[in-house]
């Protein structure tokens, strides 16, 4: 592809956008100014509600009908996009300016083959004839490193993994050879290995296509890995802008420092703590600095007038009166592991023995007619125990079986073979009665938006499980207030609908509901992946407090090993339905590693543009669960495969040391000699 001319590809000056709502005028963006040079990646970061997506949609000219542009300019190739006629804007949008959306499932047409969808972009903009568009689609899929492009062009979206779907969306965005590519949270929700491949792709594209890239994310660790320069948005204002290295090494705004401190640190060197408070109501903004109500450095002058954008270094600006103090402050160090058990681990509360779950098992008639397909091997022969009072984390890529295992623990699925036994912690008696089981074992789902009834108020949501268990009305009301207090919400939330809550507040309500019946085992199924970093830190702190106070036991399902290291006592690593490693946090995060665990650890982004882990990139995609490989299921992607033994013989779990178990044919002595992914640090070093 041709490279684009040097110079600013995008110039935004004093852009202000508001939304008319029943609550009043929401001031979503206020006098935002920035430039994105051709060939650079400009990262935009901030919490949910900070205005990141509004900025992207304003550039695309695709704001909601209730939006109003109050002022400013958005210049691209000499034109102010805000003042272009609709027809002229349509000719630019999708061709000269393209956007990659967060959810590829909603960006792709489920009824069209992939090749047709890419070709359609080319035909709409008259960039190629039908035969030429088909050839161009193949070239674009090759550009985004999709294996076997001819096969992918014939596939439907549902036949591709999440990472493959995102690559297809990127290929579609590149079809018109755009001069500006906007990427809105393109890796949110992806597992760490898929995210690592997408970030590598972004780094490659900046050199291959020469376009400017505006990369939007709430995760500063991701921003650090891809960006040349970074802008920090807070409550609609650009509060800091700088080249990546100085911003991450010496942030000049307290909000930027707060975002960094809210990131889970895989090396346990920094504090993992939320930013206190919440974003202001954008219909009633405070006077002075908009961050003042949450700032640890606030002084009287901060509340009198909005601070100007101060120059704090070369191309480095911060909207703060106390930027010198903020820059001089060292990072807060990690004082404790949040997940450290408060006492001795008690007896087993859940036993999993030879647990197997296959989906889509063929029936007798299908087999007789010769039409049977192999079943989906979601889980195969998994054995482990969950001990009272511990946090057992289950980690692995999408499709590894961790959610299936969680649902089997909850009796939401019936096993194909094997057994799950849940026991009362005090008596050791097995729980067999369904009503008792629903009291003892509860779940917190991934997305609070879909797990909370949008038509019910918080009080009704929390009362529901108590009413099902036959708790009298007055006792229910007292219990609901206790639950709200336990999750640090006041009684004013009782009459709110879910839509009136932030993402973190919704998840707090979901957690309160899970604890309503006094459970002994709580399954947490990716409860943090839909939240921004500050909300994540706040909810992790809450889960740790509840665990200590209520002596709860968690099975924590996640693809984020950074979070897991802070929260868990033990970790089970899963791959394609098998348990490949099991041990304490200290055992999992130092050699010997299973080769798959090493790849997971090395894929975790860190908020330092200069940091380079001992990177292990997995080639190819996870094999089909309908036809899992023989022998070690990881051998098709393993960078350390020994040969035929890995291909033909399934490795059993064997003790590495202590409570550490591995399923790998490589001699333990060889695995122990491998260097750590990162130097040892923290309490478990």
Contact (Cβ atoms closer than 8 angstroms) between residue 312 and residue 306:
no
Residue-wise burial string across 323-332, b where 16 or more C-beta atoms lie within 10 A, e elsewhere: beebbeeeee
What span, in angstroms and rounded, lies between the C-alpha atoms of 177 and 2?
A: 8
Q: In what order do the strands lie in the sheet with 237-243?
A: 97-100, 180-184, 212-217, 41-45, 229-234, 237-243, 316-318, 310-313
What pLDDT is recorded for position 5? 55
DSSP letter string, 327-358: HHSPPPBP-S-TT--SS---SEEEEEEEEEEE
Average pLDDT over residues 324-329: 92
How would you classify the pairing of strands 553-558 and 521-525?
Answer: parallel
Instruction: Say what the pLDDT of residue 378 is.
Output: 92
SS3 567: helix
Residue 15 pLDDT greater than 90, yes or no: yes
CB 451 within 8 A of CB 510: yes
Bridge partner list, 557: 394, 525
Q: For residue 373, how far is the Cα from the chain centroid?
A: 34
Helices (H) then strands (E): counts for the chain: 25, 23
Q: What pLDDT, on a 0 to 100 scale, did the predictor assign at position 127?
A: 84
Least confident of 81-85, 165-169, 499-503: 499-503
Handedness of CA 165, 171, 175, 179 (dihedral sign): positive
What pLDDT is attached to residue 267? 77
Contact 443, 527 (CB under 8 A): no
Asked if 309 contacts 234 with a C-beta cutoff of 8 angstroms, the reply is no
d(CA 465, CA 449) in angstroms, rounded, equals 18
How confident is the model at residue 614, as a pLDDT? Answer: 55
Cβ–Cβ under 8 Å, residues 240 and 234: no
Would you state the pLDDT for residue 525?
92
Tell me which of 8-12, 72-76, 275-279, 312-316 is least confident. Answer: 275-279
| Beta pairing partners, 217 | 45
Average pLDDT over residues 539-552: 89
Cβ neighbours around 283 below 10 Å, total: 13
Rounded CA-CA distance 405/136 in Å is 42
> Distances in Å between the alpha carbon of 303 and those of 252, 286, 297, 327?
18, 8, 12, 21
Instruction: Report the pLDDT value the prediction gives residue 333, as an integer from 0 to 100.
Output: 66
Note the pLDDT of residue 6. 59
Query: Does 592 sit behind a cis peptide bond, omega within 30 degrees of 0 on the bond before it?
Result: yes
> What pLDDT, on a 0 to 100 scale, did the predictor assign at position 245?
95
Among 88-97, 200-209, 316-325, the range with the most confident prediction by mean pLDDT is 316-325
What is each CA distance from 416 to 174, 355, 377, 533, in whole angstroms? 45, 8, 10, 38
Query: Quick one: which of 588, 603, 617 has its CA closest to 680?
Result: 588
Which range has the worst mean pLDDT, 250-259, 314-323, 616-625? Answer: 616-625
Helical (H) or strand (E) element with 534: helix 533-550
Residue 327 pLDDT > 90: yes
Dihedral class, residue 210 (left if φ above 0, else alpha if ψ from -120 to 50, else beta): left
Distance CA 417, CA 356 (A): 5
Is the CB of residue 529 less than 8 Å from the CB of residue 195? Answer: no
Alpha-carbon separation of residue 675 from 192, 590, 591, 611, 664 (angstroms): 21, 9, 7, 17, 17
Cβ–Cβ < 8 Å for 533, 262: yes
Mean pLDDT across the chain: 89
The pLDDT assigned to 374 comes to 83
The CATH number fitting domain 8-96+180-328, selected from 3.40.50.300, 3.20.20.70, 3.40.30.10, 3.50.50.60: 3.40.50.300
Phi, psi of 636 (to 5 degrees): -70, -15
User: Is residue 612 over pLDDT 70?
Assistant: no
SS3 for 531? coil
Same fold, 8-96+180-328 and 348-568: yes
Q: How far is CA 581 from CA 558, 561, 603, in A?
A: 15, 14, 17
13 pairs with which residues across the strands?
73
| Residues 348-568, CATH architecture | 3-Layer(aba) Sandwich (3.40)
Per-residue pLDDT at 613: 55
Cα dihedral across residues 546, 549, 550, 553: positive or negative = positive
What is the Cα–Cα distance from 28 to 48, expressed in whole angstroms? Answer: 12
Of 329, 554, 523, nearest in space to 442 by CA: 523
Angle (deg, nearest 10), helices 192-209 and 162-174:
20
The answer to whether 107 and 173 have CB atoms below 8 angstroms apart is no
CA distance 495 to 489: 12
Cβ-Cβ contacts under 8 Å for 624 (sequence gap 6 or more):
none
* Confidence check: pLDDT of 476 > 70: yes
Residue 441 backbone phi and psi in degrees, to 5: -120, 125
- 169 against 105, higher pLDDT: 169
> Greater confidence, 388 or 145?
388
| Radius of gyration (C-alpha) of the chain in whole angstroms | 26
Q: What is the pLDDT of residues 343-376, one digit of tens each?
A: 445 689 999 999 999 998 777 777 777 777 788 8
Q: What is the pLDDT of residues 18-74, one digit of tens each?
A: 999 888 999 999 999 999 999 899 999 999 889 999 999 999 999 999 999 999 999
pLDDT value of residue 335:
55
Q: Are strands 41-45 and 229-234 parallel, antiparallel or unpaired?
A: parallel
Mean pLDDT of 276-300: 92
Three-state SS across 270-320? ECCCCCCCCCCCCCCCCCCCCCHHHCCCCCHHHHCCCCCCEEEECCEEECC
Decide: 641 and 256 in contact? Cβ < 8 Å. Answer: no
Spell out the domain ranges in the chain. 8-96+180-328, 106-175, 348-568, 573-673
């Amino acid at each position: 592809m041709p490279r684009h001319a040097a110079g600013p590809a995008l110039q935004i000056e004093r852009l202000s956008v508001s939304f008319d709502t029943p609550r009043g005028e929401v001031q979503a963006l206020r006098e935002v100014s920035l430039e994105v040079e051709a060939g650079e990646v400009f990262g935009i970061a901030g919490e949910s509600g900070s205005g990141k997506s509004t900025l992207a949609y304003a550039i695309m000219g695709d704001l909601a009908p209730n939006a109003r542009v109050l002022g400013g300019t958005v210049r691209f190739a000499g034109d102010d996009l805000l003042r272009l006629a609709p027809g002229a804007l349509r000719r630019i949008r999708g061709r000269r300016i393209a956007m990659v959306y967060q959810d590829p499932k909603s960006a792709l047409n489920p009824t069209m083959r992939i090749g047709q969808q890419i070709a359609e972009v080319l035909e709409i903009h008259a960039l190629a004839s039908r035969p030429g568009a088909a050839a161009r689609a193949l070239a674009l899929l090759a550009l985004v490193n999709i294996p076997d492009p001819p096969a992918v062009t014939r596939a439907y979206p549902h036949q591709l993994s999440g990472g493959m779907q995102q690559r297809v969306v990127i290929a579609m965005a590149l079809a018109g050879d755009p001069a500006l590519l906007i990427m809105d949270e393109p890796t949110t929700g992806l597992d760490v290995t898929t995210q690592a491949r997408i970030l590598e792709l972004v780094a490659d594209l900046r050199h291959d296509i020469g376009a400017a890239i505006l990369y939007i994310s709430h995760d500063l660790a991701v921003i650090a890995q891809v960006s040349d320069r970074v802008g920090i948005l807070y409550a609609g204002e650009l509060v800091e802008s700088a080249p990546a290295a100085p911003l991450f090494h010496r942030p000049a705004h307290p909000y930027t420092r707060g975002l960094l401190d809210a990131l889970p640190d895989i090396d346990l060197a920094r504090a993992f703590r939320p930013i206190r408070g919440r974003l202001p109501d954008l219909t009633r903004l405070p006077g002075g600095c908009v961050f003042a109500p949450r700032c640890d450095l606030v002084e009287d002058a901060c509340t009198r007038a909005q601070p100007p954008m101060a120059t704090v270094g070369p191309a480095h600006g911060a909207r703060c009166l106390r930027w010198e103090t903020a820059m001089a402050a060292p990072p807060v160090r990690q004082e404790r592991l949040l997940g450290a058990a408060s006492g001795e681990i008690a007896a087993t509360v859940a036993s999993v023995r030879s647990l197997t779950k296959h989906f889509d098992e063929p029936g007798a008639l299908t087999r007789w007619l010769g039409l049977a397909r192999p079943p989906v091997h979601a889980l195969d022969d998994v054995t482990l125990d969950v001990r009272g009072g511990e946090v057992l984390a289950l980690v692995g890529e999408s499709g590894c079986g961790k959610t299936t295992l969680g649902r089997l623990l909850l009796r939401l699925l019936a096993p194909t073979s094997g057994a799950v036994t849940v026991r009362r912690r005090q008596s050791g008696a097995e729980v067999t009665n369904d009503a008792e089981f629903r009291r003892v074992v509860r779940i917190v789902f991934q997305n609070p938006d879909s797990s909370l009834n949008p038509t019910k108020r918080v009080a009704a949501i929390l009362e529901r499980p108590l009413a099902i268990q036959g708790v009298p009305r007055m006792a229910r009301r007292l219990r609901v207030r206790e639950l709200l207090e336990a999750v640090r919400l006041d009684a004013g939330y009782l009459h709110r609908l879910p839509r009136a809550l932030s993402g973190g507040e919704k998840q707090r309500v979901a957690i309160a509901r899970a604890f309503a019946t006094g459970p002994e085992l709580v399954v947490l199924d990716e409860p943090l992946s839909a939240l921004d970093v500050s909300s994540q830190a706040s909810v992790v702190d809450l889960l740790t407090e509840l665990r200590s106070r209520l002596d709860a036991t968690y099975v924590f399902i996640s693809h984020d090993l950074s979070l897991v290291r802070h929260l868990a006592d033990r970790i089970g690593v899963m791959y394609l339905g098998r348990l490949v490693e099991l041990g304490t946090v200290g055992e999992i995060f130092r050699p010997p590693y299973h080769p798959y665990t090493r790849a997971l650890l090395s894929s975790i982004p860190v908020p330092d543009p200069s940091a380079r882990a001992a990177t292990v990139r997995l080639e190819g995609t996870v094999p089909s669960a309908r036809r899992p490989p023989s022998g070690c299921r990881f051998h098709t992607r393993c960078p350390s495969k020994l040969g035929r033994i890995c291909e033909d013989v399934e490795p059993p779990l064997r003790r590495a040391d202590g409570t550490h178990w591995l399923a790998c044919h490589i001699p333990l002595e060889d695995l122990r000699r491998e260097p750590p992914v990162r130097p040892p640090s923290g309490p478990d070093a």
